[in-house]
Structure 1
Amino acid sequence: MELATVQSTTATKHGVILEKTERAFEELGVLNPAIYQNGNSVHMFYRAAKKGNFSTIGYCRFEGPTTLVERLAEPIFSPEYIYEIHGVEDPRITKIDDTFYLTYGTYDGLNASGALATSKDLKKFKKKGIITPKFILHDFTNLIRKHLQNSSIAKILAFNVERNYPLAQMTIEHSLVWDKNVVLFPKKINGKFVALHRLFPSIQIFTFEKKSHLTVDFWKEYLENLPNYLVMEPRYEHETSHIGPGAPPIETKDGWLMIYHAAEKRDKGLVYHACAVLLDLENPQKVIGRLTKPIITPEEYYERNGYVNYVVFPTGTAIFDDLLYIYYGAADDKIAVASLNLNDLLTELKQNSHENDI
Structure 2
Amino acid sequence: MIAVKKEGIIIQKTVLDFENEGVLNPASIKEGNNVYLFYRAVSKGNFSSIGYCKLDGPLTVESRSDSPILIPEFDYESHGIEDPRIVKIADLYYLTYTAYDGINALGALAVSKDLINWEKQGIIVAQITYHDFVKLTKSNKPKSEKYYRYNRQKGVRKKDGGKVLLWDKNVIFFPRRINGMLCFLHRIKPDIQIVVSINEIAELTPEFWENYFIGFQDSIVLSPQYNHESSYIGGGCPPIETEFGWLLIYHGVEDTIKGFVYSACASLLDLHDPQKEIARLPYPLFKPELSWELKGEVNNVCFPSGTALFDDTLYIYYGAADKRIGCASLNLSELLKELMLNTINHD
TM-score bracket for this pair, using the shorter chain length: over 0.9
Q: Percent identity?
A: 51
CA distance in 2, matches of 1:168, 1:83: 17
1:170 to partner: Cα distance: 5.5
CA distance in 2, matches of 1:138, 1:287: 30
Query: TM-score, normalized by length of structure 2?
Result: 0.97
Residue 193 (1) aligns with residue 182 (2) = yes
Q: Which amino acid aligns with 2:36?
A: H
The aligned counterpart of 2:16 is 23
Residue 74 (1) aligns with residue 63 (2) = no
1:246 to partner: Cα distance: 0.5
Q: Which amino acid aligns with 1:28?
A: E
Determine if contact 2:103/2:159 at 8 Å carries over to the other structure: no
SS at match of 1:221: helix
1:344 to partner: Cα distance: 0.3
1:151 to partner: Cα distance: 2.2
Determine if contact 1:263/1:272 at 8 Å carries over to the other structure: yes
| Residue of 41, 47, 66 corresponding to 2:40 | 47
Determine if contact 1:25/1:49 at 8 Å carries over to the other structure: yes
Q: Which amino acid aligns with 1:135?
A: I
The aligned counterpart of 2:289 is 299
SS at match of 2:163: coil
| Residue of 43, 66, 83 corresponding to 1:90 | 83
CA distance in 2, matches of 1:336, 1:15: 6
The aligned counterpart of 2:333 is 343
| Residue of 155, 161, 164 corresponding to 2:146 | 155
The aligned counterpart of 2:130 is 137
Q: Which amino acid aligns with 2:6?
A: K
1:171 to partner: Cα distance: 5.4
The aligned counterpart of 2:102 is 109
CA distance in 2, matches of 1:355, 1:51: 49
**Structure 1 regions of 5+ residues with no counterpart?**
1-7
Query: TM-score, normalized by length of structure 1?
Result: 0.94
Determine if contact 1:10/1:294 at 8 Å carries over to the other structure: no
CA distance in 2, matches of 1:194, 1:170: 33
The aligned counterpart of 2:305 is 315
Pairwise CA RMSD: 1.4
Residue 203 (1) aligns with residue 196 (2) = no
Determine if contact 1:290/1:355 at 8 Å carries over to the other structure: no
1:10 to partner: Cα distance: 3.9
1:298 to partner: Cα distance: 0.1
Q: Quick check: 203-212 or 53-62, which moved more?
A: 203-212
Determine if contact 2:129/2:157 at 8 Å carries over to the other structure: no
CA distance in 1, matches of 2:234, 2:286: 15
SS at match of 1:201: coil
1:137 to partner: Cα distance: 2.1
| Residue of 160, 177, 181 corresponding to 2:166 | 177
CA separation of 1:177 and 1:23: change in aligned 2, threshold 3 A? same
Q: Quick check: 21-30 or 139-148, which moved more?
A: 139-148
Q: Which amino acid aligns with 2:303?
A: F
Q: Which amino acid aligns with 2:229?
A: E
CA distance in 2, matches of 1:169, 1:47: 28
Q: Which amino acid aligns with 2:143?
A: S
1:164 to partner: Cα distance: 3.5
SS at match of 1:132: coil
CA distance in 1, matches of 2:162, 2:102: 15
Determine if contact 2:72/2:80 at 8 Å carries over to the other structure: yes
The aligned counterpart of 2:264 is 274
CA separation of 1:62 and 1:147: change in aligned 2, threshold 3 A? same
Q: Which amino acid aligns with 2:167?
A: W
The aligned counterpart of 1:5 is none
After superposition, give the CA deviation of every residue in 1:177-214 in whole Å (9 maximum; x if it has no partner).
00000000000011111000101000110031111111
CA distance in 2, matches of 1:203, 1:352: 20
CA distance in 2, matches of 1:168, 1:44: 37
The aligned counterpart of 2:204 is 214
CA distance in 2, matches of 1:343, 1:157: 40
| Residue of 92, 102, 124 corresponding to 2:117 | 124
Determine if contact 1:238/1:264 at 8 Å carries over to the other structure: yes
After superposition, give the CA deviation of every residue in 1:240-263 in whole Å (9 maximum; x if it has no partner).
111011000011111111100001
The aligned counterpart of 1:3 is none
**Structure 2 regions of 5+ residues with no counterpart?**
none
Give the total of aligned pairs. 346
SS at match of 1:110: coil
After superposition, give the CA deviation of every residue in 1:105-159 in whole Å (9 maximum; x if it has no partner).
00011101001110000001100111111102221221112234x423x322331
CA separation of 1:89 and 1:355: change in aligned 2, threshold 3 A? farther
Determine if contact 1:19/1:30 at 8 Å carries over to the other structure: yes
Determine if contact 2:88/2:94 at 8 Å carries over to the other structure: yes
